[in-house]
C-alpha cells in the first residue's frame, strides 16, 4: 500500500468520527435510550428533531435487541432466541435487529453502541467504495471523493437502524461484480470471492429490503458489465453467479430462519405495498433535505399529521448538489470521448424508472411490480441508498471527465444538467407548497426554509461555475463540504444526557426474576431485552401470528400486531379509546379485568405505568349489534333500562354517554341521564347544542357514583326537557327485539386486592400482582424453578408440565437425559410436555428449524469461498518455475 492510499484510508476513517464528535464526547447524545427511557426526565437540544434517526426502531430494534444479541454472542451462544420480549420470540429470524451481523453487532454492547455501529457502517461504506472506484481505474482524488460522499449519504444521515446495515455491501458487491469481469483469471476469482462476501454480508446485516434493492442496482450494473465482454461474456457471468450462490449458502443461518418465520408470521403492511408512493412533498425534501426542518421536526413543531407523515415516506435525501452533479455526469455520455457511456445510460435509466415508481407514476410502477418481491418492499423508502450510490458514481465519472472531455460539449452537458435541476426544483417546491404553508407561521420554521433555499443556491452556484471552469478541486470541495454540512445538522438535535431511573430499573429486575412485566406508556417495547427484564410488551416484525392472535383475542382486540405498547387495558387498548363512534362500540372488546387475567395466566405479574395515568380505569358500554341504528325523538318520556357488566362491582362512575342525532347541530335544550345503583343515584345534564351529531356524547356526572362491591348492574333513564327542537337518541335492537340505546360509562375500577404498589416516584408507578401463574406450572407436580431453561419436578401422578414461553417448533426438551415430545398447550402459545410419576430434571433448548440444513449450506459456502479466495491469492508462477 502506497502512502497516498494510506492517506485516503485515514481520511475516510477520520471524517465520520469528526462529524459525530458531539455524540462521541457525550455533549449531545443521539442515544435512543436517552429519548425513550427518561422516566419523565426533561432533555434539551440545540435544534428540535430526532438526532440522526427517523425511525424509532433505532432504539426498539437495533439498540434493544442488538444489545441482547451482543450479550448472547459474548456469553458463547448464537442469538437464536430472546426471552425478554413478548413470551419469548425468535431473535435471529426477525433479522432487522442484525443479531447475526457478527462481529459488528458486538458494538451494541456499549452504552453508545448505536452511534458506534453507525460510524462503523460509514467507514466500511467509504473503504469499499474506494476499492470499487480504484477497480474502475478512476483517479485517486475522484475515488477519495466518491468514498467520502458514500459514507455521508442521506440514508446514513437520517437512519440508524436496520436499513443502514447492508449499505457498505452495495459498493463491495459492485466491486466484486466489476472485478469478476476482468481479463485475468485470478482477478476474476478475487471478484467471485468479493461477490460472495458482499451478498453474505448484506444478508447477515439484517435488513433484506435494503439488501434486495441494492442487489437490483448491482444486477443492472452486472448485466451491462457482462455485455461489454461480448463473446467472452461467460468469463464474467460465471464468477458472478458462483459468488452469488456461495454468498447465499454462507448466509443460510440468517436466511433459513427468516424464511421459516415468514411462513407463520404476521407481516403487517409488508404483505402488499403495490402502488404506495412518496407524498407530494417528498421530492422537494429529497432535493432540500431540511426544507421541513431536521428529522421529525414536525413532531416538535406541532405540524399537521401530513407534515409528520412526510418523514415516514423518506429513505434519506440526495440533495440538489449531488443530483446536479449526477445529472451532469449522465449528460456527459453524449459528449465525445467520455468513458463508461453505457454504464451512464444504465444508471440514468435506473434513476429515471425507479424515480417514477417512487413518486407514483402508475404505468412504470406496475411494470416494476412484475419483479418478484417488489410489492412486499417499501420501494419509495428503501430505494434511496441506490439513488445516492448511482448519483455518486455518475458524479465521480464527471470529475474524471473534467480532465478529458471536449470543452464545448462538456459545457453544454453541464448547462443542460443545471437547467434540468432548476426546473425540477421549482416543480418540486410548487408541489410541496401545502406542507410548507402548514409550517410557515411556526416560530423558527422560516429559518429552515430560507437557509435551505439559500444554501442550495450557494452550493449550486459554486458547483456550476466550477464545472464550467473545469476547476476540479473546487468541485470536489463543494461536494464534500455540502455533504458534510447536511450530515452534521441532525447531530445538533441530540439531547444532553441524563441518567435513567436506576431505582425503578433495579426494582423491576428484582420483581421479574420469575415473572414478566407489562408496561403501559413507560417502558418501551424490547427494552426489556436491553436491561434483562422480561416484558410482555414487544416490537417485532415479522411476528409469530399465533402469539399475536391470542393477544388480539384475549387482551387487545384489533391492535397493530407489529407492537404491543398500549396506554391501558379494556377500552384503552382499542383503536377507539375515546369511545366516540358507534362502530367502536360494535367491535368485539375485552374488558380490563379479562385482559389483566389473561396476562396473569401467562406469567405477567408486574405492572408499570406513568404516575399521571389513572391505570385502573375502563370504559364500558351496552353491547350493540353490528348493524345500522334507528333514531327516536328524545323528549320528556325517558328511555330507560338496566345495564349489567361484571366491571361495575365496586367501580366508581364519573362520566356517562349515549348516541344522539342533533340534526346537524339544530337541536336545542337540556338533556339528562340518570343512573341508579341499589343504594344511590346520580344525574348528568348537558345542553343539546353542544352534543355531537351521530356520535357518542359524554357527560360528567354531578356526583361520582360508587357501585356496591357485590352489585354488577344499574338502572338508567335518558330524557330531555321536551324542547321545540329536540334531538334523537340512537337505538339498536335489543333482547326480544326491544329497542335499546348505547349507554357508555367511564369508570374507575377498584384496585385488585392482590395488588401491591411498590414504587411511585412521581414519574412512574410499579405494582406487583400476587396470584400470577408461575413460569413453570404442572397439574400434579411440585415444581422447582432453576432457571429459564431448567426445572425440577416431583410428580405423584402423571400430568402436564407447562412452560410460559412461546411455543416454537425449534424448541426441544430433555427429561432425565432423554428427549421428549414438546407440544403447544391448549392456548397455542405455552409449551407443554407430559410427565409420569417420579422425579424429573427437565432441560429446554432452542435451535431454528432445519438447523442441519443450515449447517450444511453454511459449510459448503464457507469451504467454497475459502477455496476461491485461496486460488485468487495463490502467487503466480515465475517463468523459471513454469
Whether pLDDT at 736 is above 90 = no
| DSSP string over 24-40 | HTTSSB--HHHHH--TT
Residue 698 covered by a domain: yes
User: Does pLDDT of 525 surpass 60?
Assistant: yes
Q: Residue 128 pLDDT more than 90? A: yes
- 736/679 same-domain check: yes
- Do residues 581 and 676 share a domain? no
- 668 lies in the same domain as 649: yes
Give the burial string for 683-707 (b: 16+ CB within 10 Å, else e): bbebebeebebbbbbbbebeeebbb
Does residue 803 share a domain with residue 787?
yes
Provide the domain count of the chain. 3
Mean pLDDT of 7-12: 95
Q: Give the residue, 42 or 395, on which the prediction is more confident.
A: 395
Contacts with 833 (C-beta within 8 Å, 6 or more apart), sequence order: 800, 801, 813, 815, 820, 821, 822, 823, 842
Mean pLDDT of 129-157: 96
625 and 591 within one domain: no
Rounded distance between C-alpha atoms, residue 606 and residue 772, angstroms = 9
Mean pLDDT, the chain, whole residue set: 91
Q: Is residue 665 part of a domain?
A: yes
DSSP 79: -
Question: Is residue 516 located within the same domain as residue 610?
Answer: yes
**Is residue 601 located within the same domain as residue 626?**
no
End of a domain among 572, 601, 616?
616
732 and 719 fall within a common domain:
yes
Once rounded to an integer, what is the mean pLDDT over residues 144-171? 96
Tens of pLDDT, residues 431-467 = 999 888 888 878 788 899 999 999 999 999 999 999 9
Whether residues 513 and 582 share a domain: the answer is yes
Q: How far is CA 215 from CA 121, 149, 600, 685, 816, in A?
A: 18, 20, 47, 65, 49
Is 306's pLDDT higher than 80?
A: no
Burial of 339 per CB tally in 10 Å (0-12, 13-18, 19+):
middle
Query: 281 lies in a domain?
Result: no
In this predicted structure, the answer to whether residue 570 has a pLDDT above a threshold of 70 is yes
Cα–Cα distance for residue pair 620/274, rounded to 1 Å: 39
Task: Look at residue 4 and tell me whether its pLDDT is greater than 90.
Answer: no
Cβ contacts of 324 within 8 Å, gap of 6 or more: 417, 418, 421, 460, 463, 464
Rounded to whole angstroms, the Cα distance separating 252 from 240 reads: 19
Instruction: Report which DSSP code applies to 727.
Output: E
- Say which CATH number the domain at 626 has: 2.60.120.260
pLDDT of residue 56: 87
pLDDT in tens, 546-559: 999 999 999 998 88
Tell me which of 619-628, 768-777, 789-798 is least confident. Answer: 619-628
Q: What is the pTM of this model?
A: 0.92
Do 677 and 635 belong to one domain? yes
Per-residue pLDDT of 779-830, as tens digits, reads 889 999 999 999 999 999 999 999 999 999 999 999 999 999 999 999 999 9
Residue 830 forms part of a structural domain: yes
In this structure, the answer to whether residues 587 and 603 fall within a common structural domain is yes
Rounded-to-integer distance, Cα 226 and Cα 219, Å: 10
What pLDDT does residue 573 have?
A: 85
Residue 722 lies in a domain: yes
What pLDDT does residue 40 have?
Answer: 46
C-alpha span between 473 and 484 (Å, rounded): 16
For residue 578, is it within any domain? yes
Among candidate residues 560, 584, 616, the one where a domain is terminated: 616
Nearest to 483 by CA among 319, 678, 351: 319
611 and 667 within one domain? no
Which has the minimum average pLDDT: 205-214, 332-341, 605-614?
332-341
How is residue 797 annotated by DSSP? S
Residue 635's domain spans which residues?
Answer: 619-748
Mean pLDDT (whole number) for 189-218: 96
- Selection from 156, 247, 152, 239 nearest residue 204 by Cα: 247
Three cell numbers written together for 749: 375500577
Query: At a CB cut-off of 8 Å and minimum separation 6, what does 830 contact?
Result: 87, 602, 802, 803, 804, 805, 806, 807, 824
Beta strands in 578-679 (DSSP E): 604-610, 617-621, 630-634, 639-644, 652-661, 670-676
- Residues 389-418 have a mean pLDDT of 88
Which run of H or of E encompasses 419?
Answer: helix 407-431
Determine, yes or no, domain membership for 60: no
Per-residue pLDDT at 269? 67
Cell of 860: 459448503
Identify which has the larger pLDDT, 405 or 390. Answer: 390
| 542 prior amide bond cis, ω within 30 | yes
- Which of 616, 635, 659 marks a domain boundary? 616
Confidence of residue 127 (pLDDT cuts 50, 70, 90): very high
pLDDT one-digit tens code per residue, 659-680: 999 999 889 999 999 999 988 9
The pLDDT of residue 779 is 87
pLDDT band at 636; cut points 50, 70, 90: confident
Q: Is the pLDDT of residue 877 over 90?
A: no
What are the φ/ψ torsions at residue 290 (nearest 5 degrees)? -110, 30
| In the predicted structure, residue 44 carries a pLDDT above the cut 90 | no
Range with lowest mean pLDDT among 198-212, 354-368, 423-437, 722-736: 722-736
Q: What angle do CA 43, 48, 54 make, to 5 degrees?
A: 100
Q: What is the pLDDT of residues 834-864, one digit of tens each?
A: 999 999 999 999 999 999 999 999 999 999 9
Q: Is position 47 within any domain?
A: no
Instruction: Return the pLDDT at 882.
Output: 44
Amino acid at each position: 500500500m502506497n502512502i497516498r492510499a494510506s492517506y485516503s484510508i485515514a481520511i475516510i476513517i477520520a471524517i465520520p468520527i469528526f462529524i459525530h464528535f458531539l455524540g462521541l464526547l457525550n455533549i449531545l447524545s443521539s442515544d435512543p435510550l436517552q429519548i425513550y427511557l427518561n422516566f419523565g426526565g426533561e432533555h434539551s437540544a440545540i435544534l428540535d428533531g430526532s438526532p440522526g434517526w427517523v425511525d424509532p426502531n433505532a432504539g426498539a430494534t437495533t439498540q434493544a435487541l442488538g444489545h441482547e444479541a451482543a450479550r448472547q454472542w459474548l456469553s458463547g451462544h448464537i442469538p437464536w432466541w430472546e426471552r425478554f420480549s413478548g413470551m419469548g420470540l425468535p431473535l435471529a429470524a426477525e433479522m432487522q435487529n442484525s443479531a447475526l451481523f457478527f462481529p459488528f453487532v458486538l458494538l451494541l454492547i456499549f452504552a453508545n453502541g448505536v452511534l458506534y455501529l453507525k460510524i462503523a457502517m460509514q467507514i466500511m461504506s467509504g473503504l469499499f467504495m474506494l476499492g470499487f472506484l480504484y477497480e474502475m481505474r478512476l483517479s485517486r482524488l475522484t475515488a477519495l471523493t466518491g468514498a467520502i460522499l458514500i459514507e455521508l449519504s442521506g440514508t446514513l444521515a437520517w437512519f440508524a437502524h436496520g436499513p443502514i446495515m447492508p449499505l457498505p455491501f452495495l459498493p463491495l458487491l459492485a466491486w466484486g461484480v466489476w472485478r469478476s469481469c476482468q481479463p485475468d483469471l485470478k482477478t476474476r476469482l478475487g471478484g467471485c470471492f468479493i461477490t460472495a462476501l458482499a451478498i453474505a454480508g448484506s444478508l447477515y446485516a439484517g435488513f433484506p429490503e435494503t439488501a434486495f434493492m441494492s442487489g437490483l442496482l448491482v444486477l443492472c450494473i452486472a448485466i451491462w458489465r457482462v455485455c461489454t465482454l461480448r463473446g467472452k461474456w461467460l468469463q464474467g457471468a460465471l464468477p458472478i453467479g458462483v459468488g452469488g450462490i456461495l454468498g447465499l449458502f454462507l448466509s443460510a443461518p440468517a436466511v433459513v430462519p427468516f424464511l421459516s418465520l415468514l411462513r407463520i408470521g404476521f407481516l403487517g403492511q409488508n404483505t402488499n405495498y403495490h402502488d404506495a408512493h412518496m407524498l407530494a412533498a417528498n421530492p422537494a425534501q429529497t432535493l432540500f433535505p431540511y426544507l421541513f426542518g431536521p428529522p421529525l421536526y414536525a413532531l416538535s413543531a406541532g405540524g399537521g399529521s401530513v407534515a409528520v407523515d412526510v418523514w415516514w415516506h423518506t429513505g434519506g435525501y440526495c440533495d440538489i448538489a449531488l443530483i446536479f452533479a449526477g445529472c451532469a455526469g449522465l449528460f456527459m455520455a453524449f459528449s465525445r470521448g467520455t468513458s463508461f457511456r453505457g454504464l451512464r445510460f444504465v444508471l440514468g435509466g435506473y434513476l429515471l424508472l425507479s424515480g417514477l415508481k417512487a413518486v407514483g407514476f402508475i404505468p412504470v410502477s406496475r411494470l416494476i411490480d412484475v419483479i418478484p418481491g417488489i410489492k412486499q418492499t417499501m420501494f419509495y423508502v428503501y430505494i434511496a441508498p441506490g439513488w445516492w450510490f448511482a448519483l455518486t458514481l455518475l458524479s465521480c465519472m464527471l470529475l474524471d471527465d473534467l480532465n478529458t472531455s471536449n470543452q464545448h460539449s462538456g459545457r453544454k452537458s453541464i448547462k443542460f444538467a443545471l437547467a434540468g435541476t432548476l426546473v425540477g426544483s421549482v416543480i418540486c417546491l410548487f408541489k410541496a407548497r401545502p406542507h410548507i404553508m402548514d409550517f410557515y407561521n411556526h416560530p423558527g420554521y422560516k429559518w429552515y426554509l430560507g437557509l435551505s433555499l439559500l444554501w442550495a443556491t450557494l452550493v449550486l452556484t459554486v458547483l456550476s461555475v466550477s464545472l464550467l471552469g473545469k476547476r476540479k478541486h473546487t468541485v470536489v470541495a463543494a461536494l464534500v463540504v455540502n455533504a458534510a454540512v447536511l450530515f452534521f445538522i441532525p447531530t445538533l438535535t441530540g439531547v444532553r444526557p441524563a441518567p435513567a431511573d436506576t431505582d425503578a430499573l433495579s426494582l423491576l429486575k428484582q420483581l421479574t426474576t420469575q415473572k414478566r412485566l407489562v408496561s403501559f406508556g413507560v417502558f418501551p417495547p424490547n427494552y426489556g431485552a436491553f436491561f434483562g427484564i422480561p416484558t410482555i410488551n414487544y416490537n417485532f416484525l415479522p411476528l409469530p401470528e399465533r402469539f399475536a392472535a391470542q393477544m388480539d383475542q384475549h387482551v387487545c382486540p384489533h391492535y397493530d400486531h407489529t407492537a404491543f405498547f398500549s396506554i391501558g387495558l379494556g377500552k384503552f387498548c382499542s383503536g377507539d379509546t375515546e369511545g366516540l363512534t358507534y362502530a367502536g362500540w360494535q367491535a368485539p372488546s375485552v374488558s380490563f379485568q379479562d385482559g389483566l387475567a389473561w396476562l396473569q395466566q401467562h406469567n405477567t405479574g408486574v405492572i408499570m405505568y406513568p404516575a399521571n395515568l389513572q391505570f385502573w380505569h375502563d370504559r364500558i358500554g351496552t353491547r350493540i349489534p353490528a348493524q345500522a341504528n334507528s333514531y327516536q325523538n328524545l323528549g320528556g318520556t325517558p328511555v330507560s333500562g338496566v345495564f349489567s357488566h361484571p366491571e361495575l362491582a365496586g367501580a366508581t362512575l364519573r362520566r356517562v354517554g349515549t348516541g344522539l342525532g342533533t340534526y346537524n347541530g339544530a337541536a336545542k335544550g337540556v338533556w339528562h341521564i340518570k343512573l341508579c345503583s341499589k343504594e344511590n343515584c346520580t344525574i348528568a345534564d348537558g345542553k343539546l347544542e353542544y352534543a355531537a351529531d351521530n356520535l357518542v356524547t359524554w357527560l360528567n356526572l354531578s356526583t361520582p357514583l360508587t357501585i356496591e362491591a357485590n352489585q354488577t348492574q344499574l338502572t338508567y333513564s335518558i330524557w330531555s326537557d321536551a324542547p321545540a327542537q329536540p334531538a334523537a337518541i340512537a337505538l339498536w335492537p335489543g333482547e326480544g327485539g326491544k329497542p335499546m340505546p348505547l349507554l357508555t360509562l367511564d369508570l374507575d375500577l377498584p384496585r385488585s386486592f392482590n395488588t401491591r404498589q411498590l414504587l411511585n416516584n412521581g414519574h412512574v408507578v410499579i405494582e406487583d400482582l400476587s396470584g400470577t401463574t408461575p413460569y413453570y406450572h404442572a397439574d400434579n407436580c411440585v415444581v422447582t424453578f432453576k432457571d429459564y431453561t431448567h426445572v425440577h419436578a416431583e410428580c405423584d401422578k402423571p400430568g402436564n408440565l407447562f412452560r410460559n414461553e412461546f411455543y416454537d417448533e425449534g424448541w426441544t426438551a430433555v427429561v432425565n437425559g432423554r428427549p421428549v415430545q414438546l407440544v403447544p398447550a391448549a392456548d397455542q402459545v405455552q409449551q407443554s410436555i407430559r410427565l409420569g410419576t417420579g422425579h424429573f430434571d427437565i432441560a429446554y433448548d432452542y435451535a431454528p428449524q432445519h438447523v442441519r440444513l443450515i449447517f450444511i449450506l453454511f459449510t459448503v459456502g464457507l469451504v467454497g469461498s475459502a477455496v476461491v479466495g485461496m486460488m485468487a491469492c495463490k502467487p503466480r508462477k515465475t517463468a523459471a518455475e513454469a
